[in-house]
Structure formats: C-alpha cells, structure tokens
Amino acid sequence: TTKRSGWVRRDVKNPESIADHMYRMSLMALIAPDVPGLDRNKCIKMTIVHDIAEGMLLFSV
C-alpha cells in the first residue's frame, strides 16, 4: 500500500496508507451528526476523492 507522503517525509512510525486515510475520512463523514446546511453526500464524496491526487502523483514519479 502507498503510505501518505507527509507522514513518510516526517518519519512518522507506522504511517497510514492513502487508502486507509480515505476510508476512515469517508466513514467519519457518513456517521457524523446532522448539521443544518451541510450536504452530507457532498462531504462523503469529497472525503473519497480528496487524496486521489496524492496517490496519482506518487505513481507518476
């Protein structure tokens, strides 16, 4: 699995992978309490795609 680049650069022990991070963020958006004016579906979609660029950038190097 591809580790999160910021964690690797900072020598964090046992860094999470990009996929682990995206999954956890999506679950957090899914189970978060209702907030007036907040579009839960948009939040879930944003958490799924927000680190795709990091993964793509690492594979293109």
For the stretch 23-43, pLDDT in tens is 899 999 999 999 999 999 999
- Residues 31 and 48: their CA atoms lie apart, in Å, by 14
Per residue in 39-57, pLDDT (tens digit) is 999 999 998 888 777 666 6
Cβ pair 2, 18 in contact under 8 A: yes
Domain ranges of the chain: 5-60
Residue 49 token pair: 């795609």
Query: Cα separation of 47 and 29, whole Å?
Result: 7
Q: What SS3 class is residue 48?
A: helix
The dihedral through the CA atoms of 37, 28, 31, 42 has a sign that is positive
